[in-house]
Amino acid sequence: MGIKNWFSHHHEDNVRAHELVPKHYWNPYLVGIGLGIVLMLTFVIMGRGLGASGAMSTVVSVVVDEVAPGHAQSNQFYQNYLGDGTQSPFKDWLVFEVLGLLVGGFLSGAIAGRNKLTVEKGPHISTKKRFLFAFIGGSLMGFGAKMARGCTSGQGLTGGSMLSLGGWAFLLMVFVGAYGMAYFVRRQWI
């Protein structure tokens, strides 16, 4: 073994020794049952189901009210999230639900040894293009959530659990759209 190969070999061993070894993913059936229990508890404790887009709308409404109060006060959309002005819109529990999701996701990743900066992508797509597609997809999901009057958790989980026709139609169309689009974006992953 040459000196160059020796250094390269030992460097790789040292890098591997300091890397986090991720744990296996949880059983998806158990996680699904856990999510169902959490959803049931939100109905029991809070009187309503899960949802995330309402929290984002609350934050946006508060920012618009700070920057352009006249516009926010005259706009019915913002008024729905700002309330009557007697209490802070940040008392809306959905804001704390989303903050809890962020903290819980970080802690879960730390416990499983998966917290690291990386870009998940296939070998045939650049990082810039992956970010562009992620931005476009996220924007479409956000726009769609407002058009559908609820995000995936609000429409799908909460609406589906209440046997809402709109919730079930939404879930069906999520899968139809995902499978329909998969052919066109497959080069990102394979």
Please answer whether residues 130 and 188 qualify as being in contact, where contact means their C-beta atoms are separated by less than 8 angstroms. yes
48 — phi, psi (to 5°)?
-155, 165
The model carries a pTM of: 0.66
Tens of pLDDT, residue by residue over 29-45, are: 999 999 899 889 988 98
Instruction: Name the band, by pLDDT with cuts 50, 70 and 90, for residue 11.
Output: very low
DSSP state of 88: -
Tens of pLDDT, residue by residue over 147-157, are: 877 787 788 88
Classify residue 75 as exposed, middle or buried by CB count within 10 Å of its CB (0-12, 13-18, 19+): middle
User: What token pair was written down for 189?
Assistant: 């992953």
